[in-house]
Amino acid sequence: MTGQPSPSIDPLRLGRVAVVGSINLDWVVRCDAIPRPGETVHGRSLEEIPGGKGANQAVAAARLGARVEMIGRLGEDAFAGRLRQYLRGEGIGTDSVLATPNVSSGLAIISVDDAGENAITVVSGANGLLTPDDIEAAADRIADASVVMLQLEIPMETVLAAIAIARRAGTRVLLDPAPAPRDFPAELLQVDWLCPNETEAMALTGMAVDSGREALAAAQRLCELGAGCVLLTRGARGVAIATADGQTSLLPSPRVAAVDSTAAGDAFAGAFAARIALGDELSAAAAYAVLAGAHAVTVHGAQTSIPRPADIDKLKPTTGQL
């Protein structure tokens, strides 16, 4: 795949990304093994780290060069002020992050084992109260952006409203379909870029994705269901890419010492959105995003693992792609 050039971007939108999604505090428990049902294991440590798929992707895009606006909700609790300030400290606009009375902020409890694998339980809190009316109130933020990023840790009707508003504004849409829905409306996949991992791609298509050929076939199926381009992330095996016009490609990932896969997909999505918003073609943006995801698994935590440009530069010679 030689890459599809980015369409001409309004100079006023160049480098601008809007993120509609979740904002959480992550409680990260490190343990020898993730407990099975009915099993009790001893944890070695507990950390509090800012997270939430929406906020993670906003931080990734901001650290890698985009001007980012966050659209979401926080509760009225001890966590809300810290989470808002953390976003601002990353240079992310928070005027459209609303306070929600009488409810907690989002919380994720993450178990991470010695192999770097994780299991996550999410309490939606205020994230579950983000409404289509909230998105309509922030429509100017979406209209000002080159790319809007979405995930599924907020209500489905709110995601669909954001897609509709973006379409109306001529803003391109990147959807990370996580957590994977069991049932989904057809219009959910009518986006410019769909960015599932292997588990999510299997849930959306019912197809195996173990081999590169199978991953490409699943990605092509998702294009048939409406996506303009699918970037199916495969962990250490890189990414399988398919476009609606029939192009396919497998991009490898550099070998790294993985310690924690939390937010690797978010690093990939945020990096890709940032590079697309800045004018990169598909292949260059995807190759850059692969490196962002690879770096993320080498650092513990969610937003603590999100790379900066210098981290990407260290991995570039490993692949020879950039």
Q: What whole-number distance in Å separates Cα of residue 210 and Cα of residue 251?
A: 15
Tokens representing residue 319 in the block: 């692949």
Largest CA-CA distance found in the chain, in angstroms, rounded: 56
Least confident of 106-120, 218-232, 239-253: 106-120
User: Using an 8 Å Cβ cutoff, are 317 and 72 in contact?
Assistant: no
Q: How confident is the prediction for the chain on average, in pLDDT?
A: 92
Spell out the domain ranges in the chain.
16-23+52-102+127-319
Average pLDDT over residues 211-233: 98
Give pTM, 2 decimals.
0.90
**Apex CA 175: angle with CA 171 and CA 179, to 5°?**
155
Instruction: Please state which of the ranges 19-33, 85-99, 129-143 shows the lowest mean pLDDT.
Output: 19-33
Pick the residue with more confidence: 111 or 150? 150
Q: Evaluate whether 1 touches 264 at the Cβ level (below 8 Å).
A: no
To the query of whether residue 311 is one of the catalytic residues in this protein, the response is no
In terms of pLDDT, which residue wins out, 220 or 182? 220
Model confidence pLDDT, tens digit, residues 194-212: 999 999 999 999 999 999 9
Letter for the amino acid at 296? A
* Per-residue pLDDT at 2 exceeds 70: no
pLDDT band for 321, please (50, 70, 90 cuts). very low
- The single residue of 77, 192, 266, 280 carrying the catalytic annotation is 266
Instruction: Say yes or no to pLDDT of 320 above 60.
Output: no
How do beta strands 16-20 and 93-99 pair?
Answer: unpaired
pLDDT at 223: 98
- Sheet with 172-175, strands from edge to edge, namely 93-99, 67-74, 16-20, 147-150, 172-175, 193-194, 229-233, 239-243, 248-251
Q: What is the mean pLDDT of residues 102-110?
A: 92
Residue 262 pLDDT > 90, yes or no? no
Residue 260's closest CA among 308, 306, 215, 195?
306
179: preceding bond cis by omega (within 30 degrees): yes
Res 164 pLDDT > 90: yes
Could you name the CATH architecture of 16-23+52-102+127-319?
Answer: 3-Layer(aba) Sandwich (3.40)
Quickly state the pLDDT bin for 140 (edges 50, 70, 90). Answer: very high
Tokens 């476009």 sit at which residue?
243
